[in-house]
Every structure is written in C-alpha cells, then in structure tokens.
Structure 1
Amino acid sequence: MTSTNNIKKKLIEVAIPLEAISAGSSYEKMPGIGPHPRGIHHWWARRPHVACRSFLFAQLVDDPSSDPAQFSTEEAQQVERNRLFNIIERLSDWKNSHDEELFREARVEILRSCNGTLPSVYDPFSGGFSITSEAQRLGLPAHGSDLNPVAVMIGKAMIEIPPRFQGLKPVHPGPSDRNHYRHAEGLAEDVTYYGERVRQRAVERIGQLYPKVDLPKDLGGQKATVIAWIWARTVPSPDPAFSNVRVPIASNFVLSTKKGKESWISLEIDKATKTIQYRIRKGGTKAEIDKAKEGTKVGRANFVCPISETAITPEYIKECGLKGELGQTLMAIVADGKGGRIYLPPSQHHEDVAFSQVSEWKPEAEFFQQGLGFRVGNYGMSKWSDLFTQRQIVALNTLGEIIKDVRGEIEVAALAGGMADSEPSLRDGGVGAKAYAEAVSIYLAFGIDRAADFNNSLVRWSSSNEKPMNLFGRQAIPMVWDFAEANILADVVGGFAPATEYQAKCLSRLITDTPGVAWQHDAQSVIYGPDAVISTDPPYYDNIGYADLSDFFYVWLKRSISDVYPDLFSFIQTPKSEELVATPARHGGGKAAEQFFLDGMTKAMRSMALQASAEYPLSIYYAFKQSEIEKDGISSTGWATFIQAIIDAGMYISATWPVRSEQTSRIRGIGSNALASSVVLVCRKRDENAISVSRAEFLRALKRELPAAIAKLQVANIAPADMPQSAIGPGMGVFSHYKTVLESDDSPMSVKTALQLINRELDEYLGGIQGEFDADTRFAITWFEQHGMGKGDYGTANSIATARGISVDSVKHAGIVESAAGKVRILTRDELDEDWDPEEDRHLTVWECLQHLVGRHEKDGISHDTAVLLKKISTQAEAVKDLAYCLYDISANKRKDAKEATAYNALIADWTELTKAAAAIHDTSGDRQIRLDI
C-alpha cells in the first residue's frame, strides 16, 4: 500500500451536496419518469442510479484540500468544492441522464484527478448492476460480479452485451425507426420487432386460450379484447350443510374506484340451490362500496362463508391448502372498450377455457418455504408452478419455446444484413450473427420474466389504476386471495409484447461507449484487476432473500436460454448456501445466521481491502429496513454487524453519507428521528501499525475530533435529520483507526457501543452550541425544551432567566415571549411582528432571526423575500443555522414534534440555495431591491 501521507483525499471523504443527491434519488423512484435501466429486468432494492454516479464521481475526484499549493486557504478550497458540487448536482438530476456533454465534463474532472487515466470500477455484489452501469455512463471500464446467475444475466444485458453491438443497425426485415444508430438503439429495435414476432407465433399456437368476450347489446354487442380475468380463491364451505359448495375467500370485490366509473362485484346467494352468482354493479352508495372493499373478509385474518355465514379461519384455509382443496373461481372479466374499461360478469365458457390445456412442462422446482419474505408456503404451495394458473404456465412455456425457434430467424437475418460469420457464440466473446441472435433472445427471455411478474396467481387488481399490479412491488411473495390474470397475448399491462417493447426502450437509453464485463463469482474470493476502484452494494443482513426470490425468474430463464450460457444455468436453482444473507431458517437460528453473515462479509471486505487501489477510498452502501430503524435506530444489529465486518477486515471508516431515496420517509419519520433509506460508507485500509487504546482514551479522542467534524458537516449544510448518520463517519473514523478499543475488563468495545457513544457526543455537541447564543435565545431554548409553545409558571421562567443573567422582561422586550397573569409562553411564528426588520431591531436575538426566517420559508420557500430576509440577518446567519440544528434535535428527539422538526430541517435543506440567492442581492433597501427569478 502507498503511504497514507502521500494519498490525496477524495471529495467523498470531505463534503458532498447530499441534499441534491437525496432529492435526485427520490425523484428517480417516482413512477412515470420514462424508460429507466431497471426496466430491462427486475431486481430488488437497486440503488438509485443518480446516487451511484454522483458518489462514484466524488470517490474519484480530489478534494481541493489535497492541493494546498493551488488552494491555499479554506475559502479557496470551498470555492473549488462548490464548483465540483455543481457538477454533482447536475449528475444527480435524472433528467440529465442522457446529457453526454455533462458526462464528458465529468470525465475531464476524473482524468484530472487520476493522472490522466480512467480507472476501472469493480462491484463484487453487483445485483441489479446500478453501480457498474453508471460507471460505464461516466466512461469508466466497468466490472461486476455476483454469485446469483440471474443477477449476472442482468449485468451482461446492461454492461457487457450492448457495447459489443454499439451503433449497429437492426437486422429485422421491417422498416427502421431511424437513420442513425448511436448506442444500443439498433439492438433495442430488433428486440421490439422480434418480441412482436414471438407474440404473433404464440397467438397462432395458443390464441384459443385467450378468447375475446361478447359485449352486451347496450355496449355495442361486438367482441372485445379481454384485459384481465378476476379470480377468487375458493375453499369448501366449513358448514357441513354446504360442504359441497366451494365458496370464495376474497379480500376485495371493488373493480374501479374512478369517479363516475365506480364498479364492484356483488354476490347473489341462493341457499336452496346452494349456488353463488357474481354480478357487476355500478355506482352504489358509499356504504355498499366500503362493504365491497372487504370482500368476504372479516377483520384482518378471518373470512366468512357467504352462503352460511360460518367463520372461515386462517387455520381452516391452511388445512384446505395442505389438502389441495384451494381452488379458484372466476368473478369478473375486464374488457377493453372505446371509453375505457368494461366490467362484465363471469362466463362459464371463459372459465372452462382457462383450464382446457395443460402444459407438458412446468417449473416443478421447490422453493424454500421459510425464505425471507415468503408467505405462501402455509397454504399448500411448495413448487414454483403452484404460483401460476394452468393457463399462465402454458403461455409462459410456449413463449420460451418460440424464442428458441425465432433465434434461428434472427441469425439468418443478421447474416443477410452483412453481419460477420456466425461463430463464435456470445459466451465466447462473439460479435457475429450467432452471438447477435443469442443477444436478442436474452432480452426476449427477459420479456418472459417481466410478463411472469404480471402473470401469476399473486397479482392484485388495482381498482384505482384499473390494471394488474406486478407481484414484486416489494421484496416478498405474499399470499393474495383474489387475483387478476392478465391477457399475456394482448397489448395490455402484463402482455408479452408490451413487456419487450418497454425493455427495448430502456435498453436504447444506455450509454455504451465503454466496455463492461459481468461474471459469476462469490465476493469472498473474487479476484479484482490491478488498481481496482471498488464501489459496492452488498446484501443487507436479513433484509432480502435475493437467491430465494430470484428463483422465480431463474426457472423461466433456464427454460429459454440455458443453452446460451450453460454454465450459469447448470443447477436446478440459484446458489443458496454461500449467499451472504442472514436467513435464520437456513442457518439454524438468529445467532448462527448473524455469525454466518459476519464471517462471510468480513472475508469479502478483507478481500476488497487487500486488492483495492490505495489511491482511492472504497464506497460501500448499506440500506436500512424500516423495522430495524424504528426498533434500534443507528444501533441496530444489522447496521452494527455490517460495520463490524468492515472494521474486522482491516479498514477504517472515514465518512458516512445518508441518502434519502424514499418519497415519504423524511416527513413521516422525522418525529422519531427516522434514518435515511441507505448510507454510503467511505473506507480505506487501516494502518498495519495501528495501536489499541482504552475506552477513556477513545472518548478523549472522540471529544477532541468529533466537534470539528460535525461543524464541517454543518458548514456543508447537512440537514438535521441526516446529521446522526453523517456524524457516524467521523465518529467511526476515530474508533476504526485504532486496532481495538478496550473496555475496563480488557474486552474489545463493540461497534454497537461505539455507535451509542458517538450519538451521545453528537447530542452533547448540539447542546453545547447553546452557550454561544445570546442570553434571551438561551432562555427560549430552555423554555421550548421544557414547555414547547405552551404556558408555564412565571416563577419557573424567572429562575431560568436569572440563571442566564437576564430577566423575563428582557425576553419579553426582545419580542420572544408573552408574560401575563403569572404565566409565560413563547410567541408562535404566526404571532411575530409582520413588520419586523432586523436592521432596525435594537434588541436583536438569534431566536427571533430564526423564527422569522423559518416563518418566511414555510410560507414562500426559496423566494426573493426569503433571500432578502437572510441577507438582512447575514451577520447572524451562522448562529441562526446552529440554532436550527439545536431546535430540530429538541423537536424531533425530545419533544417528538414532527411538524416543528420538519420546519427546521426544511430550512437547512434549502440553506445552500437560499445563501446563493441572498448573495445575488446587492441592495436590500427600498425601491432598489433586485427581484430574483427563483
């Protein structure tokens, strides 16, 4: 390793525009933003692409402090940081994902910091290949590996295959979409064309299984394409008098909640004939709609037999499932009409057709019923085929068979189009006709996977969107009682052709200038290339069972493209025993699972530390799940175990950056000091000569170094809600620089204990800031902590004021409190003087400055008036910001006042933009104010 004295600090180790990255990450997760690389194939808990490229850029470019000759003062360094921040802020905007000029600008900066050579990026836990695809977008050679063959196939489809066929025209015989092909547009166009060809062949073979439906005369009396069939699972009635009647267990009878188009299913019961008829109702009262939303469910887990009103318990349903007595009945048909969706009652013909053909092959492999997120094993489901209807298996299998046939057609077309001889194959590095045909067939097989996500018996019908919702809306396989079966051969949500068309759009948006490599390997023993820059997104303790879940796709991929990559599909299912996930049921309990994870992750991290370039830090992502956040906060077992693995591997942590990528997490969680959805840890190899110290020595070092680090984070405008996790970086930097920290009994201090001590020091630091404020503000802080905006006794107020060398009258004169009838209370922001001017106030306090600024920001956001106010209190600005941190901490963690905490957090989040706006105002007096276009 190069001496650490000669290693330049990278920007990611000092400061980043965190709020811009979080905002961009949240935006990227919004629906409707257009084609996205994730659309090529589903994977669970991908990191936002804008975050990946932003952190990679910051990981590679030098921090200005590394060049004191050019940036000799802190002011000059901050100016240069702000310039680099501007690039990151633009990289963080998803709308700039295809701004090739921006990425050229970013590459120039990277080259300047990397001695003129673009380094190679490696990710040993590639998963959905977000990091490596963004490395490729930045122009960096991208290398990704994963133990899971489905993940490896995703990687090949994203970073390895597209550059091989960059800029080629499509080979299909139809008309072309464009004249110029830049990246993978030609390949994408062929995927769309041959996806439709596969669909047409499927219609010829099994079209009779997806009949049209006859519309009633009042709707035209013609035939219409079915969008979906709505089914309910059934069990024999538990009432002995009706035991031969199969009754529905449905959690919802509502079909549409769109205003003016409300539709729902009603049951017509005839006890005499022991029959149940399903009718379509439109409109209805609120009470009827609310009742329909419950289906046959009573409470959270129980159902009721609609014909006898006998309770159907969870135990009874499980018993029926284990006996093979769970059935399904058709409740409604959704058709495509001129004015939108048409809801029709069930047809016996349509129900019979659904069961009229049985596939010769089906995915008989068994899934691990105790896998993380699996909820279906209790109901007699044990094989992957149990998750699909009979018709769905026939359709998915037929599509796979046709893809193999069409592959030959693609090869012939490629040869006819002038592509090179058909050898070698894709897996052997081929770029000729055979390899090209195999490449197209991979994306078509991905189309089957996407269709399967919408075509299984666990798909919900969304009454608000009037469409089927895919199974993997989250990383679990939950039980669904009523489900939608999409028309896989139609141009609808869940259709095969629309799936391949959308995937092709996503493929066409990749930037493919730089080659990439994806291969299968476990992270514990993978060999990196020389001077590797490592950025990775490992499994998160016990959050997601990737291997168990991915078998859902593996069984279909194996069926259709195992001959293209036979080594990847040589096993019945994906590897499980080596997967670094703490699955208690697989490892003999929680403790054993934790030890398995710690041992394996430590080995993987040690391999990274040994092979990573000394010139660059490592960036490692960790994602929290909400349950561990709410239970243990920053001391959660998963988080502590993960950090322990990094430290045990011989690394120290130099920075931690929390990224909030969930749309609702900030506001909903502020009151409980909720953590960000993921944290990026920045690490380097620890000095081999590191010493051990005592707990007391560690605490002295923490008190000595942490305050300055927190102050720098505040200067970088880290939002108060993000401060606890951001402070972990410098805090753990102190802890992890030592070989060990020894407790009084000479046992090593645990990471969990260290995290608690770091959090305590943060609290003390924020409390210590109070001593730097004016006496009236210090009084208000104490009063707010004890009483909020409520009233309290004058005697208590007087004692607090006297201890600060002032009187209650002084605080009242400052315009902070009301004092009357022996009671004192702080004035709310709404009660403050609207005509207040800090430049005219002869009793100016930090408290008043902050409250007026927060009030203006709450009302107008980043506006001209808010900027003018900040300009006027410029001499108090830093103290105002410090006070915002203090009051956020009190509001969020002590008073549990989410609304008040949100106000302070939002102000700091916008502080950078407000400061820029204030700086642009040259005169704040009278008519000479400069209006800003904000």
Structure 2
Amino acid sequence: MTTTFKKKLIEVAIPLEAMNEASAKEKSVRQGHPSAMHLWWARRPVVSCRGILFAQLVDDPSSHPDIFKTKSEIEAERSRLFTLIEKLVTWEAGTDDALLEEARREITRYSNDKKVTVLDPFSGSGTIPAEALRLGLDACGVDLNPVAAVVSKSRVEILPRFSGGAAVNPDGKSLSGHQGLQGIASDFEFYAKRLIEIAREKAGFAYRANPDDKNSKKVIAWVWTRTVPSPDPAFSEVEVPLASSWLLSAKKGQEVIVKPIYDHEAKQVSYSVSKPQSPEALENAKTGTKAGRGANFTCLVSGAAITPKYIKEVGRTRGYGTALIAVVEKARAGRNYRAATDFDLQVASSIQPQWVPDTPISKHPQYMGVAGYGFETFGELFTDRQLFGCTTLYDALDAVENEVLEHARSSGMADEASLHEGGKGALAYSQALRVLLTLALGKLTDLSNAFCPWEPVAQCPRNLFGRQAISMGWTFAEANIFSESSGSLATIVSGIKKALEKNSYDQPLVKGHVWQEDAREIRAGEVPYVICTDPPYYDAVPYADLSDFFYPWMKRSLHRVYPELFTTLSTPKSEELVADRMRYGSTEAADSYFMTGMEEVLSRVSHISDESFPTCVFYAFRASEIEADGISSSGWTAFLEGVLRAGLRIERTWPLRTEMTAGLKAKKNSLATSILVVCRKQAAEAISVTHSEFLRTLKRELPATIKELQSANITPIDMPQAAIGPGIEIFSRFKDVIQADDSRMSVKTALQLINRELDDYLSDIQGEFDADTRFAITWFEQNGLSAGDYGSANSIATARGISVDSVKHAGIVESSAGKVRILKRHELSEDWKPETDPHLTVWECCQHLIKALENKGEYEAAILLKKMGPDKAESVKELAYSLYDICSNKRKDAKEANSYNALIAVWTELTRQAASILETDVGGERQASLGI
C-alpha cells in the first residue's frame, strides 16, 4: 500500500512515562486550574492534551529521510522532540510564553505554514480546543450538552477573544500592562464583589447573626440532619434523626460533637454541642444513628430499627423533616460550634423562595440515588434559604451586566455586536462577564444545596458532586454564601480568578469557536479539521441526567446571551451517545445504539478530517471494567468495532495513566486508565485476507514493534494495551479477515490473537539468555519460589546443557535434601558485585537490581546498573518483561509481578542516572569503560 502522508510523532513514539507522570501530578493542582471555573465530570488532564496535540501535529523524523539519513540521526531528532514534549507537559509550561512559542514554531515548521484547525466533537469542558489555541492553532469544539457548551465557550471563545484587553472597572484601570487575562481577571473579581454587594442588600438578612445577641458571631454554616417519624407506634409523633455522623470537628485535641437529647414530656429531640467526654463518645459520634450498611438507622428514642423500606416510604409519601443540629461560626482561629437558637430556627423557617427550578430528576437508580427517596424535581434538592439566596444572586446579574456595559463604554470600547454574534466591544464584554459570573454561581449551587455533607476534618461543607452521581444524604451543611469561608461565593470567585490569571491565551491571530450539535451531524469546515477528541465511554455516566442540576439555573441567566443553547426544557438525552440500559430498555438495545452511534460519529470524523494528520481518540476504562474484563471488555471491543466500521484503521494505541494513587509504587503498578487510539483513513485498495494470512502477517511484523515498545520502556502492565495498536493496525489494514467458516473475524478474536502473539514473543526471548537464567525461568514458572523435586530440576538443567550444581554455583538456587528452590531476593548475598562475579547471570542481575531498588532507592540501583554494563542491562530489562508475564498471566502472583513492573517503570530514570555516574562512584578503573 502506498503512503501519501508523513507519519506524525504520535504514530511512532512519544515520551509516554513523562506524559503519564505529568498528568498524574496535575491532579494535585489546587490553585489556578481551569476546572475551578465550573464543574464538568469528564476532564482530560490539560498537560496530556497539550502533549498529545503537539505529537499529533509534528512529523516523526523518519518521515524525512532526506534530512535524517541514519538511524542515529533519527533517534537524535526524536530525542530532541521528546525533550521539548517533556517540558511542554509540565503544569508550569502553560504560562511559559517562550516554551509555548518554541512549540508553535515546531508545529508551523512541520505543517509547512498550512492553516490548521483542531476540532473536538465531544468538547465537554473545552480542554482539547483550549490547549490547541495555546499552541497557536485555530480550534473548534462541539457538544450536544448545553451546559458543556457554555463551559467550553468560556475557555475557547470568551477568554481568547478578550485576552490582552484592559480592565474596565474603576479599580482596575491602574493596572500596568494587560498581559494575557489580567484585565478580565481583574474585572471578574470586581464585578463579582458588586454582585455579592447587591444580592446581600436583598438577601443578607437570611444569613445574618442575631442582632440582639452581643456574643453572636458571623455564621459560616448551619448543619442539619433529616428526620422521620419513629417507626415505633408508641413514639410515632416523635421526629427522630437519620444522622450519618454527630462529629463536627475531627481536629485532634479540638474534637466537637453533637449530642441528641430526648425530652420525654415534650416528646421532642433537641441537640447540644460539646467536646466528647471520652474516647467511646467520640467513636460513637462518628456513626451518628446509623446501624449498619446503607440507609439503616436506629431510632434513638425507642431503639427500633429504621429500615431502608421505611425510610423510602416516608420520603415518597410525606417527605422528610429536618433538624438544625449545630451552627458553625467564625472564630479568631478556626471554628466555633454552638447549638441552634430560636433565632436560627425562626430565620430558616420564615424564608420564602421567589423561584424554584422544577426540572424533573431522572429515575436512573445508579446515578440518581435521590429519586428512590421521593425527590422528584431539582428544586427539592435545596432548602428555602438556599433557593432564596442563589436566586437573588442570579437576579442581580442584570444590574451588574449593566454596570459592566457602562464602564466598558466609558473606557472607550466600541458598542458593537453581541457576544453570540462574535462581538468584541462593550456589549459583548458585558455579556462575557455575565457568562463568567454565571459559571461562578453554578459552582455555588454545587456547594449550596441540601446534599452537601459537613466535612469534620477540613471543617467545611463539601460539594454535591464529589462523585458522578447525586447520592442520598442524611446530614448536610447549609453554607453562608455571603461569608468569606468555604462554601461562600467569595471563595469560589477567588478560585476562578486564580484560574484566569494562570491561563495564558495571548494569541490574537487564533480563533476559537464552540457550538452545540450532535457529533453525528457536524458540518465540514472551511478547511479540513485535525480531530482530537475524548468521546463518551460506552455505558459510563449519562451526563445529560446530571447536568440537569445546572441547566435551569444557567438557562435563567443566559437564555438571552446564547438563545440557541436554551430552547429545551432540559438537556438533550435521546441523542446522547452512551450505552444506557435504563434509557434504551435493555443491554442489547443500549449496545446497538452505542455501536451504531459511534460508527456514525467516526464516519463523520473521517469525512471532515484532514488526511495529512492522524485522528486521535481517547478511550477511558472504568476500574470495574478493567478488573472484570481487562482489555477485552465489551465497551472497548464495541468502540474498536465502531472505529473500523467507520472506515478507519488504527496506527497506534498509547496507554495513558492519569489518576493519582496512594504512592509511587502503587502508581507504577496500576493499569492505565485510558488508551489513546491513533487512526488514519482506511486505504481504498484494502483487500480481504484469510485467517492464516492475517496470522502470518501478525507473526512477521508484531515482534519488531513490541521490541520498539520495550525500547520505549512501556511498563509490562501496559504492554498488552500498547501492543493493541500495532496489532490492530495490521488487522485494520485489511478490508476483512475471513475465517474458516467464511465469517468475518471480530475485533475480540483479533485482540485474543494479538495477546497470544505477545505471549509467544515474551517466551521466545528467553532463548537469548544464558543457560542458568533459562533454567531459573522454567523452574520459576513451574514452582514459583517454592521447593520442588531435585529430579525435575536435574531434567530441566540437563535439557539446557548444564547441571543443578551450575545453577547453585551461580547463586540462583538452594539445593538440599532432594529439594531445589529459587533463592528469594532477601536471601541474596549482600556483598555481591557484578564486576567480580565469575559466574554472572541475567537472573542474578535482575534480582539484585530489584533488591537494590526496593531497599536502597533509585541511585544505588543506578550504580548497580552501570556496573553490569550495557549488554547485561538490556538483557535484564527483557527478563523483567518475561517474568512479569509469567507472574501476571500464569502464576497469578500480583505481588511478584509488581516488582518487575516497577523496575521497568523507572528504567528511563535509572539509565539516565547511570549515564551520569562517575567512575569513582562505581569503584575501580574497570567501570570507567562501562556506559549505559
């Protein structure tokens, strides 16, 4: 087949481990991250998107044989590009103008000054198009969901459009220079404060401290619990609490708990606040009135069990009561906790909201846990005070928008087209600030509803969407939105301002555009698109159901700014591309909908994409999917089937690890959470082949590619995922693979064959090791680290031309009393030195290297690696791959497998350190000639 395009770096090699490390580190960024602007549930790490886009757009050096004529020249240029990517994917690179400009020059050089426009058909929060803009490219985003479209528009349209502009507020005009988003960040903060001032004048009374109590302090939050009538008929008129916890402060030495008190005469429960009087009291407070798993509670009055059935019945018939169990106040240092007063209760009960979002809540039991407890609309998820406070803030947006417009005009901005029409003047700017303020208020509703738990460790309210669901909750915190503590609008505004200041879009020549549309119907652009996207994940979360929480509030605020986005009563659901069994009635129907839809989307992508560039598509595994089915899961195979049926072939797959884990070792030994699939259009001259022809091609071509992946230090745990790319590339280059019964080979069968070839390759490389190591591999595969019969060991040794005594002399096994066993790593000699070992084996080198790594750290392991020399080092790496395969797939020994995986995971760093170690560090003149 003829190739008419130049291979891009992403199709050949990328610095995968550096990208994975940077993506995981980004998860810990708390200040200045774009996610502070508004919640969206599926967020691809910013740094990985930046690195992938760069690698997707620049040529691999092998595509230029006229410039890079030798293998060493190709590797040197590839290494240079890798170094640039490794810098580019750091979090700090997002504001490094010099580094970003260097990346832009590289992209321009490889695109031959051709106009490039990146398109993400599932833009979500807008990360991919936003990073394309940062790299100097035009970018477009499309999303069916109007909430996602607004979030994307803020990053892709609004911020780049007004980047570099001067602040218009009276306090911001004195700013020196207006680089990046400094001006709009200043305005956002100023007008957010004005919004708070205007709303506080009208709604502040609902959040005030008692004016008649001189000792009253500023309230931070009110802590409530839901109540039900006692299930005991003798106490049915008593409202008993369903408290998930009585703990208010978990700070050591400053613990505070709630103590419920039952008044027998009044038949009422009241609540006091105090320090726990004993360790037992503290422990009991942690579980409240819960009495087991799920929604099982105990009536604190009668001791009767409160069953889930009873609780749900109360919720569906009469609804839950609420009890104010504590008030949290601002103190000089930390928090002050007290019991509720009559004033607190009177204020809470006297408020009447002027508007209630009446959008129905989906009945999806997996993601809408509240639906089973009688909650029908999203308005029911708020207290009256929360509805009143939030609505007042939203209503105050009109006055603030008018102030922005007036100040913008007086600052000299022309009063031209609206934001929706592409305007850049005073009118558009005032609407842009309204959008940003609306996002801030959207975050506020996530923190100001009746399902926000009180966090006793941080001593603050937690947001509703701590996970991708609306779960039923029993104890909740009602934050003072007008305070300056956690849960307030002021805190949210501070976070968004930092996000604006930390993101640079000072690219006046680039254009960003986002629109709402079904990805199956995207129109072609003026120029073909470079496609990079993160589509829905098979049967993962139906985000349309969840985003209905934000939609009515957003519609109330922005229906005039973006009229095309808010024409429906709720977010579109029937067109959402997700295999939702609840929505489509059965697993089969949901699977069919997803596969057909994904094929339609990718067919459309193939039609509108620029053939000069590959298409990059993310696929994210859920943890349960990986554990249950690994890489043969139904979602993954359905996705690949959709890719191939859309007329695309797969060039590469890269395993991406983007989640934080408990520690370095856990991260290195965790399976990649996503796979990046790199595709090209299927060649028109593709032919059909037989099963045997495909298998022969696989055996001929796959081993060389696997060796390349090993050279790139792909960890053993990720190797099956990485090998999919070149394996499926072979499969997808053919029109069809016809099996013996004339049926078309499925993707699942192809994946099984690819995995089998990977196993065969790892087995074949064993023949290149020394005889003692080959004996140890076979013995380990059969017996692990347990003892076995000497006769069996002797047979294995004889077949390899050695004796058991030879393996014993090499320091690999112990042989006594007719038994043989492999020495465990802690039993290996402490003073072993590879440079003086007269019977040096690859097995010994590998085990000692892991021992040094685990017990002494990377530097000592690097010294040992340098002493081994380059030939043994390469053999050790190949042995680690082979032993991981044996431990993981044959012996099912996860702990031992992790040791080999961890060695490969740090191999790049070990070799880097080894190359920089001086002769004096390894001891002796002999090592001066050794290099890695």
Q: Same fold (TM over 0.5)?
A: yes
Contact 1:215 1:224 in 2 (8 A): no
Residue 359 of structure 1, aligned match among 353, 356, 364: 353
Q: In the alignment, what sits opposite 2:825?
A: 829
- SS state of the match for residue 565, structure 2? coil
Alignment of 1:459-478 (within 5 A): 459-478=452-471
Which amino acid counterpart does residue 875 of structure 2 have in structure 1?
A
Residue 626 of structure 1, aligned match among 623, 628, 645: 623
Contact 1:731 1:758 in 2 (8 A): yes
Measure, in 2, the Cα distance between the counterparts of 1:303 and 1:176.
59
Which amino acid counterpart does residue 246 of structure 1 have in structure 2?
E
Q: In the alignment, what sits opposite 2:502?
A: 509
Give the stretch that moved more between structures: 777-786 or 542-551: 777-786
Q: In the alignment, what sits opposite 1:208?
A: 205
Alignment of 1:658-807 (within 5 A): 658-664=655-661, 675-807=671-803
What is the CA distance between 1:272 and its match in structure 2?
Answer: 4.7
1:817 to 2:810 alignment: no
- SS state of the match for residue 224, structure 1? coil
Q: Which runs of 5+ in 1 are unaligned?
A: none
Measure, in 2, the Cα distance between the counterparts of 1:297 and 1:747.
57
- SS state of the match for residue 684, structure 1? strand
Over residues 791-822 of structure 1, what are the superposed CA-to-partner deviations in whole Å (9 max), with x where a residue is unaligned?
33333322332232222111110011122233
1:616 to 2:610 alignment: no
1:905 to 2:901 alignment: yes
What is the CA distance between 1:842 and its match in structure 2?
Answer: 1.4
Give the stretch that moved more between structures: 685-694 or 795-804: 795-804
Measure, in 2, the Cα distance between the counterparts of 1:407 and 1:696.
69
Which amino acid counterpart does residue 114 of structure 1 have in structure 2?
S
Q: In the alignment, what sits opposite 1:81?
A: 78
Measure, in 2, the Cα distance between the counterparts of 1:758 and 1:248.
58
Q: 1:881/1:131 Cα in 2 relative to 1: closer, same or farther (>3 Å)? A: same
1:21 to 2:19 alignment: yes
Contact 2:126 2:153 in 1 (8 A): no
Which amino acid counterpart does residue 324 of structure 2 have in structure 1?
L
Which amino acid counterpart does residue 467 of structure 2 have in structure 1?
R
Q: In the alignment, what sits opposite 2:179?
A: 182
Q: In the alignment, what sits opposite 2:649?
A: 652
What is the CA distance between 1:756 and its match in structure 2?
Answer: 2.1
Alignment of 1:492-531 (within 5 A): 492-512=485-505, 513=507, 514-529=510-525, 530-531=527-528
Contact 1:371 1:545 in 2 (8 A): no
Over residues 575-628 of structure 1, what are the superposed CA-to-partner deviations in whole Å (9 max), with x where a residue is unaligned?
111111111111121110111111111111001111211111000011111111
Alignment of 1:96-107 (within 5 A): 96-107=93-104
Which amino acid counterpart does residue 300 of structure 2 have in structure 1?
P
Q: In the alignment, what sits opposite 1:255?
A: 248
Measure, in 1, the Cα distance between the counterparts of 2:2 and 2:393.
57
Contact 1:662 1:677 in 2 (8 A): yes
Q: In the alignment, what sits opposite 2:236?
A: 243
- SS state of the match for residue 6, structure 1? coil
Measure, in 2, the Cα distance between the counterparts of 1:456 and 1:177.
39
Over residues 348-395 of structure 1, what are the superposed CA-to-partner deviations in whole Å (9 max), with x where a residue is unaligned?
321231221121211011121217522110011110101111111111
Measure, in 2, the Cα distance between the counterparts of 1:573 and 1:853.
59
Measure, in 2, the Cα distance between the counterparts of 1:168 and 1:53.
25
Measure, in 1, the Cα distance between the counterparts of 2:163 and 2:185.
11
Contact 2:172 2:186 in 1 (8 A): no
Which amino acid counterpart does residue 789 of structure 1 have in structure 2?
L
Q: In the alignment, what sits opposite 1:61?
A: 58
Q: In the alignment, what sits opposite 1:30?
A: 28
Matched residues, percent identical?
A: 50
Q: In the alignment, what sits opposite 1:264?
A: 257
Over residues 182-219 of structure 1, what are the superposed CA-to-partner deviations in whole Å (9 max), with x where a residue is unaligned?
11211111111111111111111111111226999xxx
Contact 2:365 2:372 in 1 (8 A): no
What is the CA distance between 1:504 and its match in structure 2?
Answer: 2.1
Give the stretch that moved more between structures: 682-691 or 787-796: 787-796
Contact 1:214 1:224 in 2 (8 A): no
Contact 1:51 1:92 in 2 (8 A): yes
Q: In the alignment, what sits opposite 1:879?
A: 875
What is the CA distance between 1:291 and its match in structure 2?
Answer: 1.9
Contact 2:769 2:875 in 1 (8 A): yes
Q: In the alignment, what sits opposite 1:861?
A: 857
What is the CA distance between 1:668 and its match in structure 2?
Answer: 8.8
Q: In the alignment, what sits opposite 2:422?
A: 429
Contact 2:361 2:377 in 1 (8 A): yes
Give the stretch that moved more between structures: 780-789 or 186-195: 780-789
Alignment of 1:74-153 (within 5 A): 74-117=71-114, 119-153=116-150
Measure, in 2, the Cα distance between the counterparts of 1:550 and 1:630.
29
Over residues 760-785 of structure 1, what are the superposed CA-to-partner deviations in whole Å (9 max), with x where a residue is unaligned?
22122212222221111112222222
- SS state of the match for residue 367, structure 1? coil
What is the CA distance between 1:177 and its match in structure 2?
Answer: 7.3
Give the stretch that moved more between structures: 546-555 or 205-214: 205-214
Give the stretch that moved more between structures: 47-56 or 345-354: 345-354
Measure, in 1, the Cα distance between the counterparts of 2:238 and 2:664.
49
Measure, in 2, the Cα distance between the counterparts of 1:665 and 1:654.
34
Measure, in 2, the Cα distance between the counterparts of 1:628 and 1:215.
59
Which amino acid counterpart does residue 361 of structure 1 have in structure 2?
W
Measure, in 2, the Cα distance between the counterparts of 1:346 and 1:319.
29
Contact 1:121 1:143 in 2 (8 A): yes
1:590 to 2:575 alignment: no
Residue 839 of structure 1, aligned match among 835, 841, 844: 835
Q: 1:650/1:633 Cα in 2 relative to 1: closer, same or farther (>3 Å)? A: same
Q: In the alignment, what sits opposite 2:848?
A: 852
Give the stretch that moved more between structures: 437-446 or 827-836: 827-836
Contact 1:235 1:327 in 2 (8 A): yes
Measure, in 1, the Cα distance between the counterparts of 2:851 and 2:449.
52
- SS state of the match for residue 520, structure 2? coil
Residue 379 of structure 1, aligned match among 365, 370, 373: 373
- SS state of the match for residue 696, structure 1? helix
Contact 2:210 2:343 in 1 (8 A): no
Q: 1:177/1:98 Cα in 2 relative to 1: closer, same or farther (>3 Å)? A: farther
Give the stretch that moved more between structures: 351-360 or 703-712: 351-360
Which amino acid counterpart does residue 124 of structure 1 have in structure 2?
P
Q: 1:308/1:810 Cα in 2 relative to 1: closer, same or farther (>3 Å)? A: same
For the aligned residues, what is the CA RMSD? Answer: 2.1
Q: 1:654/1:461 Cα in 2 relative to 1: closer, same or farther (>3 Å)? A: same
Give the stretch that moved more between structures: 407-416 or 347-356: 347-356
What is the CA distance between 1:913 and its match in structure 2?
Answer: 2.3
Give the stretch that moved more between structures: 763-772 or 866-875: 866-875
Contact 1:227 1:336 in 2 (8 A): yes
Residue 41 of structure 1, aligned match among 18, 38, 42: 38
Q: In the alignment, what sits opposite 1:347?
A: 341
Measure, in 2, the Cα distance between the counterparts of 1:238 and 1:25.
51
- SS state of the match for residue 486, structure 2? coil
Q: In the alignment, what sits opposite 2:316?
A: 322
1:332 to 2:326 alignment: yes
Contact 1:365 1:572 in 2 (8 A): yes
Measure, in 2, the Cα distance between the counterparts of 1:867 and 1:141.
48
1:553 to 2:547 alignment: no
- SS state of the match for residue 552, structure 1? coil
TM-score, scaled relative to structure 2:
0.96
Measure, in 2, the Cα distance between the counterparts of 1:285 and 1:882.
58
